[in-house]
Structure 1
Amino acid sequence: MPALLRALRLRWKLAVSGAILLGAAAGAVAFVAMPPAEYSSRSLVHVAEKRPRDLFETRESGVSYAIYQHTQTTLIRSNKVLEAALKKSGIGSLEMVRSRTDPVAWLRERLRTEFGNSEILTISMSGGNPEAVATVVNAVTEAYLEQIVRQEEQERVERLERLEQLFEKYQEELRAKREDYREQAQSAGASDQKGSALRQQMVAEHLGQSRRELVQLQSEIRKARAEVTVLAEDAATPAAAAHRDLGFEGLIGRDPVVAKLRADLAEYSGRLEQVRRIVRNPGEPSRKRLEQAVASLAESLRMRYEELRGFHGAQQSGDRPAARDPGLEQAGRYLEILEEQERILREEIASLEQEMGTLGIQSLDLHWVEDEIDLSTEVARAVGSEVRAVTVELEAPPRIRLLEPAKPQGPADPMERYKFCAMAAVASMGAFVGLVSLWEFRAQRIDATAEVAGRLGIGVVGALPTSPRGDRGGATAVRRRALIESVDAVRTALLRASQVEPLQVIMVTSATKGEGKSSLSCHLATSLARAGRRTLLLDCDLRSPAIHLLMDEPLAPGLCEVLRGEVALDDAVHATAASPLEVLPAGCCDAAAVDALAREEFPRLIQDLRGRYEFIIVDSAPALIVTDTLMLSQHVDAALLSVLRLVSRAPDVGEAYERLATLGVRILGAVVSGVRDDPNLSDDRYHYLSGVKR
């Protein structure tokens, strides 16, 4: 960056003037090319993060607010909304719409929708006509509210209707299931599942008790059969006839059949009372069976009483059966009763087992029906709650509502066009200044004498100020005097070096053309003549001679004519007003003269001139342009490099130095011309050079 700034300082005039011209041109072009200012208009729509509610929280499907926002912005730019907006009254006649081949695509491209970090949706558009822009934005906003927002509200109403229909459907299903449950419960003899289970438990207990009784009864039957067998055997003996006469009550009390029937009757009567308390249906099968069993036992007990009463009466009248033993008869009768009870008990057990299976199936059916009723009731309750909530919340404020319609507005920035022009001008100026700085930086032109010694390692013999131009009175004279003193300083250094070693022929060259070598040659030769040294100024820049112009001498005859043998040396040398300085101009150059520089003619000429003059200043061609300088350098005693500030490039000067040094030429150093000085000189130096006392 310091190097770029230094390079810019060297070309600041060019940079400033060019930047001003280019900036003015760029600003004018930008002003003409920039389209007219656009007017922006917007409408504001409030989109709540959550749906407003009055009381209930409905179970409507919901998504995250970010997704909902993105959905709304996408719907606004959908074909459905844009086409509806373009169909509104007055929109199709607008010039900005009528001139479009595809108004929907154009409107989608121009329309801007954004939320930012709030619940406010901004719908905006820009255009050249503020009234038309506001009209289009309002049309899009209205179409969005009609096509999207109102449709969403209509979908809520339709959802409520579907929920009401669903609720009515579940109510009908519940009524049918409850009726079915009631019928199954009546057929099962219970009012609910719990009563059915209790009844099933009672039947199971009854079945178990009946099975135990069957086992006991079978044991009694075996005993009765054994007793009948024993009595039958005893009846065949004489002792059977001596049967003791018993009273009727004693006969009943000692009769085992009566005792058995009484015990069974008491047990079945108790069980019947228990069933009657649980099962109130008189036609229920288990209740009917118990009633039949109790009636059968009572009838058997009555018949036994009648039988014993008849047997007792026969004993009293003396009419006894001869062949039938009362004990054996009673035992046989008792055995028949037991066998009848066994048959009845087996039938009862079979009936109970069948009833047990039926009760199990009915209980399972009741359980399934109850579960279905519970599930349907739960769903119906949820649907009913949602119906009630949605019915109430339909009256709540809408989630999306218009806050502010679009209005015609001025341009966002009235100074935008001028700012754009200023930015274009500033950018162009900055680019030009940067390019100039970069160009100068890449050129690496020498700015100060210190760069020659510091960067290139070439010793500086002297520094010459800029040659004075024009007639500005005393200041010009002072500058001319300063230039003469600087040249004399170079001459002094040259004379000092000639005392140490022979330095008679001095070549003045430069890296490229236009670096002040011819001016330096003239000044140095003139300075040597002022010092009383017989000096010859030899112009060896045959291709581009300049000495004859600077010394105001004719171009020919000169060196070229001498080398071609056309004139004698004395005829080509011209005397000058600055005696004892003489000039040998270049003459008219051709290929023969250039070729002579490489032959023996030129070395003999230099040798001849050495005998005539104390110093010969040779103005040669630039070292990097032609090879003439390299050939001349082999016949001189030393060389001076001319460097012109702000013109000479450091790489070129370094390369010229390397070429001469490679050929073994002794280089005295560089003379830098055009060095900077105070434009008005310092006061002390001015008064000193002008001879004025302060």
Structure 2
Amino acid sequence: MARPIAGDPPTNQPQYQPQSNGAPVPVALSPFNYTNQPNIPGPAVASTPTPVGLLNAFRRRWVLGTFIAGLVAAAVVVGVWLVMPAGKHQVRALVQLQPKQVEFVNKTQEDFEAYRRHQMFLLKTRDVLTRVLADPAVSSLDTVKQSEDPVAVLEDALRVTVAAPEILEVTLTGNNIEDMKVILDHLIKRYVDDATSIDRKLRDDTTANLEKLRASVQLEIDLQEKNIELIGRNNGTTGAEATNTALALLQKRHIEAEGLFVVAGREIEKAESERKVVLKQLDEKDQKSPPDPVIVAQLVAADPRVGAAKKAHTARKEFLEKEAAKATNPDSDDGIVKLRSEVKKLETEVKDAEKQAATESLAVAQAIDSAKRQKRVEELSFTIDVKKEERERYRQERDGLQKVIASTASGGLNIEAMRKSLQPQREMYDKIQSQLIQMRVAAQQGGRVSSRGDAEKIPNNNQNKKVALASAGGFVSFFGVILLVSFLEWRSRRVDSVDQVVNELGMRVIGTVPAFPNRASLQAATEAGGANWRFVLNESINSTRTMLLHTAKAQAMQVVMVTSATQGEGKTSLASQLATSMATAGMRTLIVDCDLRNPSIMKLFELPLTPGVSEVLRQEVDVSDAVQATAVPNLWIIPAGQCSNATIAALAQGHPLETLFNRLRGQFDFVIVDSCPVLPVADALLIAQHVDGVVFSIMQDISQLPKVITASEKLTQLNILLVGAVVNGIKQDVYSYGYNYVKQLPA
């Protein structure tokens, strides 16, 4: 068969067919591109993991991943369980506080917040706690018996907080919730009893004091009323109608004297306020207000340095004016210009002298201001003394008029005043009487402190939280480790399925080979009446052979190389199985072991290593002497031979290998070449340039996508035809296609 040249289209597929009118008619495009390779999608390796990819990655490492995840999850569960506190139970009781219902005479309103703080303190006093723990019902509890200092333990575990303005929340924390409830119930009862007893005693004492005060006020009112009655009898009158006119005049003069007294007092206050402000200004070390600018200007004008500077400036300025008047062109006269410069300089000196004098004058001006303020203080003090004397005179006049009015008002006036003076005593008596009634009502209602039910048990939920968090931590860590192991395995980018070879590698799949079962699985399947694995394997190889022969016929291929990206991907096994299948089909088939560095074909067929390809390339033996028959009819093998540097050099020359293949084409129907992997060494690339096509062997769960892509790209760059890929290690339940239908047929 003629071998197609790289770059030429297949000879048996013309691009055009003539029409009836002689014009070329386009036909369907060839399934091969300009390099005689199939038109298949280019590589599109996923850059991010997918759920299916991670699942397949975990399937390859499920034993290791599950083991590590189990260890990590167990460690997390134990760690969370030990780190989280065990927690304690809690018992809670509520205490009701009542505001004070009765406000006592001559006393301010009660501070309820202070009363509440006092009750919170009383609840935790050692006296109350000691008496509670001494109760037989409490002292017999295991919690109390096992404690060395139960009072101190109770003080630490007891908490009193404000739940509402009038409600106290009392909580007790511990391990034995039943004992704590008994202790807290007795504590609240003891506290309420003590508080009620204190309130009752205080109420009784207050009631007794109020009754004594009421009797005293009643006696005072009775005595005053008898005195009024006696005065009325002595004066023969019960009012003040006879003296109303005289009293009116006296009261008018009294009002005028009172007004003058008030005005004098206001003037004194005004003068004292002004004196206080001036004294404060005098006491200040740093004067905030600037001195009088007029005083400062006078001091600057009187400064001798300023006067001398101004005199010098004036004299030089007059001399400049005279010289300028004499000069023909004063603007260009150097003398005039010099004089003007001197005048400006003297003017600057005047300003500097004024500035310096002004700075030095500030202190003098401030001293003058201080002297003025001091003088003002003296004036105000004098005014205050005078006004005080006037006010005292007005006061004496007012008081004198008051005495005259008091002495003038006889009879009815005196009696009326005495009656009015009894009004406070009567009001006090009524208030005392009202308080006594309220005290009696409060005595029937009980104390100000009461308990709102029994203590409430609040079991600790930390145990459930610990279980939940430990379980959640173990669950998250378990699946987290599994996800991590899956991701790390996914990063190796191993081939998961046939679809991945087609979609991501862009290779044509011409066949699949089932995975080798272990001995136990194979025996169990046979005993269960399942399909014989060897028949399944044969049918897979026969299907691949059919696809390969079809492509070989269409592309005029006779020599096909089987290779892989790296070692361990099933290329040698695939080559031997394909060759065996072709020989079984009646074709004269030859296997050429070109894996010169690591040969293994001769081991499968139990043949000697030499003579072989290495000896032929070195021209030490003839091709016919290297061909060895096998036990399989129509199948022959040329082993690898003994490789050496001379063999590799001959392989690199290319001509000896091309001569070898050309001789074999005429002697055999099909030649299967088992080469070394593409990536480790360059031997496969050298051999592939002399074959008709390349079949790529890919091992599921072993081959790595990046390496396969790199290997295929190297072959593509050399215009080497990639016939397709064969995926090894396929699970039968996935790609068996009904292989369980296969039965052993009779010979």
Normalised to the residue count of structure 2, the TM-score between the two structures is 0.51
In structure 2, C-alpha distance between the alignment counterparts of 1:661 and 1:637, rounded to whole Å? 13
> Residue 73 of structure 2 contacts residue 474 of structure 2 at CA under 8 Å; is this kept in 1?
yes
2:175 match: secondary structure: strand
Corresponding residue of 2:506: 457
In structure 2, C-alpha distance between the alignment counterparts of 1:485 and 1:510, rounded to whole Å? 22
| Inter-CA distance 185–101: structure 2 relative to 1 (3 Å threshold) | closer
Structure 1, residues 36-68: CA drift from partner, whole Å, max 9, x if none? xx9999897763667699x999998778xxxx9
Structure 1, residues 117-148: CA drift from partner, whole Å, max 9, x if none? x9998856436xxxxx74466446545654x5
2:606 match: secondary structure: coil
Aligned with 1:518 (options 559, 567, 572): 572
Corresponding residue of 1:399: 451
Aligned amino acid, residue 459 of structure 1: R
Corresponding residue of 1:644: 699
Structure 1, residues 462-498: CA drift from partner, whole Å, max 9, x if none? 1223357656389788543342333233233333333
> Residue 163 of structure 1 contacts residue 383 of structure 1 at CA under 8 Å; is this kept in 2?
no
In structure 2, C-alpha distance between the alignment counterparts of 1:143 and 1:482, rounded to whole Å? 86
By how many angstroms is 1:589 displaced? 6.5
Count of residue pairs the alignment pairs up: 524
> Residue 56 of structure 1 contacts residue 392 of structure 1 at CA under 8 Å; is this kept in 2?
no
By how many angstroms is 1:670 displaced? 1.4
By how many angstroms is 1:426 displaced? 7.8
Structure 1, residues 506-525: CA drift from partner, whole Å, max 9, x if none? 33233444332221121123
> Residue 558 of structure 1 contacts residue 588 of structure 1 at CA under 8 Å; is this kept in 2?
yes
Corresponding residue of 2:94: 47
1:487 match: secondary structure: helix
In structure 2, C-alpha distance between the alignment counterparts of 1:532 and 1:44, rounded to whole Å? 94
In structure 1, C-alpha distance between the alignment counterparts of 2:689 and 2:536, rounded to whole Å? 34
Corresponding residue of 1:491: 545
Question: Is 1:613 matched with 2:671?
Answer: no
Normalised to the residue count of structure 1, the TM-score between the two structures is 0.54
Aligned amino acid, residue 569 of structure 2: E
> Residue 503 of structure 1 contacts residue 638 of structure 1 at CA under 8 Å; is this kept in 2?
yes
Structure 1, residues 156-184: CA drift from partner, whole Å, max 9, x if none? 34653675487468648856975796599
Structure 1, residues 549-570: CA drift from partner, whole Å, max 9, x if none? 3333445665567778888777
Structure 1 unaligned regions, length at least 5: 128-132, 211-348
> Residue 200 of structure 1 contacts residue 356 of structure 1 at CA under 8 Å; is this kept in 2?
no
Structure 1, residues 95-127: CA drift from partner, whole Å, max 9, x if none? 9646x9998499749x99999xx9998856436
By how many angstroms is 1:460 displaced? 1.1
2:540 match: secondary structure: helix
| Inter-CA distance 24–79: structure 2 relative to 1 (3 Å threshold) | farther
In structure 2, C-alpha distance between the alignment counterparts of 1:97 and 1:538, rounded to whole Å? 92
Question: Is 1:160 matched with 2:203?
Answer: yes
> Residue 569 of structure 2 contacts residue 697 of structure 2 at CA under 8 Å; is this kept in 1?
yes
Corresponding residue of 1:247: none
1:528 match: secondary structure: helix
* Mapping for residues 324-363 of structure 1, pairs under 5 Å: 355=407
Corresponding residue of 1:669: 724
Corresponding residue of 1:229: none
Question: Is 1:204 matched with 2:244?
Answer: yes
Moved more, 392-401 or 487-496: 392-401
Structure 1, residues 233-268: CA drift from partner, whole Å, max 9, x if none? xxxxxxxxxxxxxxxxxxxxxxxxxxxxxxxxxxxx
In structure 1, C-alpha distance between the alignment counterparts of 2:201 and 2:110, rounded to whole Å? 13
1:508 match: secondary structure: strand
In structure 1, C-alpha distance between the alignment counterparts of 2:125 and 2:560, rounded to whole Å? 90
In structure 1, C-alpha distance between the alignment counterparts of 2:580 and 2:630, rounded to whole Å? 10
In structure 2, C-alpha distance between the alignment counterparts of 1:475 and 1:119, rounded to whole Å? 82
Aligned amino acid, residue 645 of structure 1: Q
> Residue 8 of structure 1 contacts residue 433 of structure 1 at CA under 8 Å; is this kept in 2?
no
In structure 1, C-alpha distance between the alignment counterparts of 2:656 and 2:610, rounded to whole Å? 17
2:507 match: secondary structure: coil
* Mapping for residues 53-452 of structure 1, pairs under 5 Å: 89=139, 97=147, 104=153, 108=157, 125-126=174-175, 134-135=178-179, 138-139=182-183, 142-143=186-187, 145-146=189-190, 148-150=191-193, 152-153=195-196, 156-157=199-200, 160=203, 163-164=206-207, 167=210, 171=214, 174=217, 178=221, 199-200=239-240, 203-205=243-245, 355=407, 369=421, 372-373=424-425, 376=428, 380=432, 383-394=435-446, 398-400=450-452, 402=454, 445-452=494-501
Aligned amino acid, residue 552 of structure 2: S
In structure 2, C-alpha distance between the alignment counterparts of 1:517 and 1:152, rounded to whole Å? 98
Aligned amino acid, residue 724 of structure 2: G
In structure 2, C-alpha distance between the alignment counterparts of 1:434 and 1:170, rounded to whole Å? 89
Corresponding residue of 2:305: none
Aligned amino acid, residue 47 of structure 1: L
| Inter-CA distance 437–208: structure 2 relative to 1 (3 Å threshold) | closer
Question: Is 1:604 matched with 2:627?
Answer: no
2:239 match: secondary structure: helix
In structure 2, C-alpha distance between the alignment counterparts of 1:105 and 1:565, rounded to whole Å? 105
1:456 match: secondary structure: coil
1:690 match: secondary structure: coil
| Inter-CA distance 599–44: structure 2 relative to 1 (3 Å threshold) | same
* Mapping for residues 580-599 of structure 1, pairs under 5 Å: 580-586=634-640, 592=645, 597=648
Aligned amino acid, residue 490 of structure 1: T
In structure 2, C-alpha distance between the alignment counterparts of 1:487 and 1:497, rounded to whole Å? 15
> Residue 617 of structure 2 contacts residue 650 of structure 2 at CA under 8 Å; is this kept in 1?
no
Please provide the CA RMSD for this pair: 6.6
In structure 2, C-alpha distance between the alignment counterparts of 1:105 and 1:567, rounded to whole Å? 105
> Residue 505 of structure 1 contacts residue 637 of structure 1 at CA under 8 Å; is this kept in 2?
yes
| Inter-CA distance 84–536: structure 2 relative to 1 (3 Å threshold) | farther
Corresponding residue of 1:228: none
2:698 match: secondary structure: strand
> Residue 644 of structure 1 contacts residue 674 of structure 1 at CA under 8 Å; is this kept in 2?
yes
Aligned amino acid, residue 675 of structure 1: I
> Residue 86 of structure 1 contacts residue 92 of structure 1 at CA under 8 Å; is this kept in 2?
no
In structure 1, C-alpha distance between the alignment counterparts of 2:154 and 2:731, rounded to whole Å? 67
Moved more, 494-503 or 158-167: 158-167
In structure 2, C-alpha distance between the alignment counterparts of 1:633 and 1:612, rounded to whole Å? 17
Aligned with 2:606 (options 539, 552, 555): 552
2:631 match: secondary structure: coil
> Residue 177 of structure 1 contacts residue 369 of structure 1 at CA under 8 Å; is this kept in 2?
no
2:510 match: secondary structure: strand
In structure 2, C-alpha distance between the alignment counterparts of 1:184 and 1:563, rounded to whole Å? 158
By how many angstroms is 1:610 displaced? 0.9
In structure 2, C-alpha distance between the alignment counterparts of 1:660 and 1:157, rounded to whole Å? 109
By how many angstroms is 1:576 displaced? 2.5
1:515 match: secondary structure: coil
In structure 1, C-alpha distance between the alignment counterparts of 2:721 and 2:140, rounded to whole Å? 94
| Inter-CA distance 535–426: structure 2 relative to 1 (3 Å threshold) | same
